[in-house]
Amino acid sequence: MMAVTVALPAHMVSLLREHGLAESWVITLPAAIGVIQVAGRLLMYFFEHHMNPHRVNQLVPMLIPFGLLVLLADGGRGDASVWLAGGFVLLYGLGNGMLTIVRGTAIALYVSRSHAATLNGVLGLPLALARAAAPLLLGVLWSPLVGYRHGLWLMLALSLIGIAALVLAQRLSLHQRGPIN
């Protein structure tokens, strides 16, 4: 999932231009992502006591792939409406903002509370490599004929793999230890 959240911002302006938006929207929508991320974190803060953390950890990561599906819904015609592009940016921003919190708690919840710092350290190098390579990979996959379409499908696949890994870790942990409330 880290690769997806890092690859998209580097290409956001070009991606929205490619989808046929007016220049004012091409600039405004990506500029709103930071505010949307903060709104997502605030939603988590205010409502986390009323929600099952395991359900939240299943649903939040799905926001980004849903956002990608919304953007891919224009069928590659390059005529995405502001509504489609806005939906993509909203889902991406909320998902990315909330995912920061989910990422911070998932290791402690599902792997090992006592080894959370060590595990985060071990994951540092692979995550750094993903952050470095993902924007380049998305750029390399761009072509004049199909634009970002193949790259977006790859980002969708990578995000679904990340979700599957999180759900698997969650299920294994809950099966071994029982629910943690």
pLDDT of residue 114: 72
- DSSP bridge partners of 143: 147
pLDDT of residue 76: 57
- DSSP bridge partners of 147: 143
- Cα–Cα distance between 37 and 93 in angstroms, integer? 5
pLDDT of residue 132: 93
Residues of the chain with pLDDT under 70: 75-80, 112-113, 178-181
Q: pTM of this prediction?
A: 0.87
pLDDT of residue 179: 56
- Cα–Cα distance between 108 and 111 in angstroms, integer? 6
Chain-centroid distance, C-alpha 51: 21
Only one residue has tokens 């890092």, namely 6
Query: Can you spell out the DSSP letters for 40-76?
Result: HHHHHHHHGGGS-HHHHHHHGGGHHHHHHHHHHTTTT
Letter string b/e over residues 95-126, b meaning 16 or more CB atoms within 10 A of that residue's CB? bbbbbebbbeebbbbbeeeeebeeeeeeeeee
CATH number corresponding to 2-177: 1.20.1250
